[in-house]
Structure 1
Amino acid sequence: MDAVRNKFLTAQNRETFWQIVRFGIAGGLATICYAAVYSPLAAFKITSEQVANIAGYLVAMLSGYVLHSKWSFRGHNASARSSAPKFFAVSLVSYAVNTFWVWLFTDDAMLAGPWWWPLIPIVLVTPLVTFALNRLWVFA
Structure 2
Amino acid sequence: MHAEPHLPLPAELPLVDEPGGTDVDLKTQIIRFGVTGGLSAIVDFGLYAFLFEVVGLPVNLAKAISFIAGTTTAYLINRRWTFKAPPSRARFLAVIALYAVTFAVQVGLNWVMYHALADEWWRLPLAFVVAQGTATVINFIVQRAVIFKIH
Tell me the TM-score normalized by structure 2: 0.73
Question: Could you say which residue in structure 1 is the equivalent of 2:82?
Answer: 72
Structure 1 regions of 5+ residues with no counterpart? Answer: 1-11
Whole-angstrom distance in 1 between the partners of 2:35 and 2:88: 21
Deviations 1:51-103 (A, max 9, x none): 011110110122111101111111xx454212100111111122111112222
Aligned length: 124
Structure 2 regions of 5+ residues with no counterpart? Answer: 1-22
Q: 2:136 aligns with which of 116, 122, 127?
A: 127
Question: Percentage identity across aligned positions?
Answer: 21
User: Could you say what the CA RMSD is over the residues aligned between the two structures, in angstroms?
Assistant: 2.0
More helix by share: 1
Tell me the TM-score normalized by structure 1: 0.78
Whole-angstrom distance in 1 between the partners of 2:92 and 2:40: 16
Deviation at 1:136, TM superposition (A): 1.0
Q: Residues 1-140 of structure 1 correspond to what in structure 2 (within 5 A)?
A: 15-44=25-54, 46-74=56-84, 77=85, 79-107=87-115, 110-111=116-117, 113=119, 114-140=123-149
Deviations 1:100-137 (A, max 9, x none): 22221223xx4464333311213432211110011111
Whole-angstrom distance in 2 between the partners of 1:23 and 1:135: 10
Contact 1:42/1:52, CA 8 A, preserved across alignment: yes
Contact 2:40/2:70, CA 8 A, preserved across alignment: yes
Contact 2:33/2:82, CA 8 A, preserved across alignment: yes
